[in-house]
Amino acid sequence: METVNMAGYNRTSELKAFDDTKAGVKGLVDGGITKVPQIFHQPPGKLKKIPVSNDSQFSIPVIALEGVKGDPTTRKEIVDKVGDAACADWGFFQVINHGIPASVLDEMIDGIRKFHEQDTEIKKGFYTRDPSRKVLYLSNYDLFKSKAANWRDSLGCVMVCDNPLQPADLPQVCRDIVMDYTKQVMTLSFTLLELLSEALGVNPGCLKDMGCADLMFLMGHYYPPCPQPELTMATTNHKDSNIITVLLQDQMGGLQVLHQNQWVDVPCRPGALVVNVGDLLQLISNDKFKSVNHRVLAKRTGPRISVACFLRMSENGSRLYGPIKDLLSENNPPIYRDILIKDYLSEYYSKGLDGTGGLPNFKL
Ligand code: OGA
Ligand code: NI
């Protein structure tokens, strides 16, 4: 539906005009824009509702994975940290000594920078909203659904699934590093799924065998500098839809997590990767692990670059997923009904990012 307000602002046509440029937010910034266009304005009052923590007692758990494959005592300590401190309480943690060399992390950030900073005409060839495409460059996947667009462009790549992309499908500027990084993140993710399984008290292969790493979608985000950061968001408050997200961020900062009703900064720790729980892990763990709200603030300085790897089950097929049966008892009755992944995803993606996630409608 077309909405035209008194001032003659036609949101739908402005969104379309922006999308048609195929040059994203970076295109606006390159064009010398000094005011944030209205399509990016957050609803008034929305930004300041929850306080920002200035209390240094809150800091995201940092877990060293060194020795995770070694002696059982070390492993047990790591499992306990992942389970208790990180997931149930925070839903977010950082891993260090995870085995992915710093040079690979740096090159990955650099590869995503090169993609977004290359010749606009080459980049435009990848611009699409067609969900059947394996490589999608776009600005705001929820552009036509959200209340306010975000100050961000993204390169999305379906790296692992029944029918994944071929290396030749990837943009040439970042092809090799995206392939290498994906391989290494998958290895790390298998370890993380084992640790999470053990923390749940089920066998180490449980989450992987359920298909929790059957799909991996990589998003290389590019957050250009913003002339009026108080008016917009780089990423609106949201929960992730998947099992886990493994996030690499550069040194610019801006990511915040909602913890005890305050926004807490996720610090930039060189060499670290951020891991967070998505809705689907909350569902199958019957709320033992929590999918937590997070957001990214817009800043005057930039660009900021981050790479999010989202892992989950495939949406194809007729398998139903609900709370893992072995976890349930009289004292721990199921909170959610068994669902098809595709039904969950269509619920989650039926609206723009709004902080509620996709689970409420599937509660028993
Ligand atoms: C996401 C996300 C955070 C970031 O892509 O879901 O939360 O730092 N990204 O870019
Ligand atoms: Ni997220």
Minimum-distance ligand 1 atom for the alpha carbon of 154: 5
**Cα separation of 186 and 180, whole Å?**
10
Longest CA pairwise span in the chain (Å) = 68
pLDDT of 331 over the 60 cut: yes
Q: Are 257 and 263 in contact (CB under 8 A)?
A: yes
CA-based nearest residue to 146, from 235, 26, 44, 218: 235
Instruction: Tell me which residue has its CA closest to atom 10 in ligand 1.
Output: 306
Ligand at minimal distance from the CA of 150 is: 1
Tokens standing for 202?
A: 């089920």
Helix axis angle for 102-117 and 175-200, nearest 10°, is 130
The pLDDT, as a whole number, for residue 114 is 98
DSSP state of 48: T
* Structure-token pair, residue 355: 């902080």
Residues contacting ligand 1 via CB (< 6 Å): 219, 221, 235, 240, 247, 249, 255, 294, 296, 306, 308
Q: What pLDDT, in 10s, does the model give residues 8-39?
A: 689 999 999 999 999 999 999 999 999 999 99
Does residue 51 carry a pLDDT above 90? no
The answer to whether 321 touches 358, Cβ cutoff 8 Å, is: no
State the sign of the Cα–Cα–Cα–Cα dihedral 246, 111, 134, 138: positive
Q: How confident is the model at residue 52 (pLDDT cuts 50, 70, 90)?
A: confident
**Is the predicted pLDDT of residue 145 greater than 80, yes or no?**
yes
As a whole-number percent, the residues of the chain with pLDDT over 90 amount to 87
The SS3 of residue 127 is strand
Pocket test for ligand 1, best of 136, 157, 235 (most atoms within 8 A of CB): 235
The answer to whether residue 69 scores a pLDDT higher than 70 is yes
What single string gives the DSSP state of each residue in 135-195?
A: EEEES-TTTTTSSS--S-EEEEEEEESSSPPPGGGS-GGGHHHHHHHHHHHHHHHHHHHHH
Please give the structure tokens belonging to residue 24. 């994203």
How far is Cα 79 from Cα 74, in angstroms, rounded to an integer? 9
Give 306 or 353, the one with higher predicted confidence: 306
* pLDDT band (50, 70, 90) for residue 103: very high
C-alpha 290 – ligand 1 centre gap (Å)? 17
- Per-residue pLDDT at 313: 98
pLDDT at residue number 287: 95
DSSP string, 249-274: E-SS--EEEEETTEEEE----TT-EE
Please check the confidence at residue 5 and state whether its pLDDT lies above 70.
Answer: no
Q: For the ranges 7-21, 104-118, 198-212, 280-294, which has the lowest average pLDDT?
A: 7-21
Asked if residue 272 lies in contact with residue 94, where contact means CB atoms within 8 angstroms, the answer is yes
pLDDT at res. 94: 96
Cα 294 to ligand 2 centroid, rounded to whole Å: 6
Tell me which ligand sits closest to the C-alpha of residue 305.
1
Question: Which pLDDT value is given to residue 102?
Answer: 98
Does pLDDT of 197 surpass 60? Answer: yes
Q: Is the pLDDT confidence value at 95 over 60? A: yes
Predicted confidence band of residue 141 (pLDDT cuts 50, 70, 90) = very high
Lowest mean pLDDT among 55-69, 301-315, 333-347: 55-69
CA of residue 74 to ligand 2 center, whole Å: 30
Atom in ligand 1 nearest the alpha carbon of residue 276: 7
CA of 207 to the centre of ligand 1 (A): 23
- Judged by DSSP in three states, 306 sits in strand
Q: What is the C-alpha separation between 154 and 133, in angstroms, rounded?
A: 14
Does the pTM of the predicted model rise above 0.85?
yes
What does each C-alpha distance from 291 to 92, 171, 270, 347, 354 come to in angstroms? 8, 32, 25, 16, 14
C-alpha 107 to ligand 2 mean position (Å): 22
295 Cα nearest atom in ligand 1: 7
Tokens (6 digits) for 289: 């692990």
65-79: average pLDDT:
96
- Looking at ligand 1, which atom is closest to the CA of residue 240? 6
Between the CA of 79 and the centroid of ligand 2 the distance, in Å, is 23
Q: Report how far ligand 2's centroid is from the alpha carbon of 239 (Å).
A: 6
Look over the chain and give the mean of its residue pLDDT values, rounded to a whole number: 94
In 3D space, the residue among 252, 230, 226, 232 whose CA is nearest the CA of residue 305 turns out to be 252
Q: Which ligand gives the minimal distance to the CA of 306? A: 1
Rounded-to-integer distance, Cα 299 and Cα 229, Å: 5
Containing 16, the helix (H) or strand (E) segment is helix 11-21
Does position 7 have pLDDT exceeding 70, yes or no?
A: no
Identify which of 217, 251, 294, 310 to mutate to test ligand 1's pocket (most ligand atoms within 8 A of the CB).
Answer: 294
pLDDT tens, position by position, 224-248: 999 999 999 999 999 999 999 999 9
- Give the pLDDT confidence score for residue 44 in this predicted structure: 82
What is the Å distance from ligand 1's center to 75 Cα? 29
- 66 pLDDT above the threshold of 70: yes
Distances (CA, A) of 155 to 170, 181, 316: 10, 15, 23
- Are 278 and 239 a contacting pair, CB within 8 Å? yes
Residue 6 has pLDDT above 60, yes or no: no
Q: Which atom of ligand 1 is nearest to the CA of 274?
A: 8
Q: What is the pLDDT of residue 352?
A: 77
Q: What share of the chain is helix, strand, coil (3-state, %, to 5)?
A: 35, 20, 45
For the chain, list the domains and their CATH numbers.
11-362 (2.60.120.330)
Return the ligand 1 atom nearest residue 219 CA. Answer: 5
Cβ distance 122 to 297 under 8 Å? no
Is the pLDDT reported for residue 73 higher than 80? yes
Residue 312, Cβ density class (10 Å: 0-12 exposed, 13-18 middle, ≥19 buried): buried
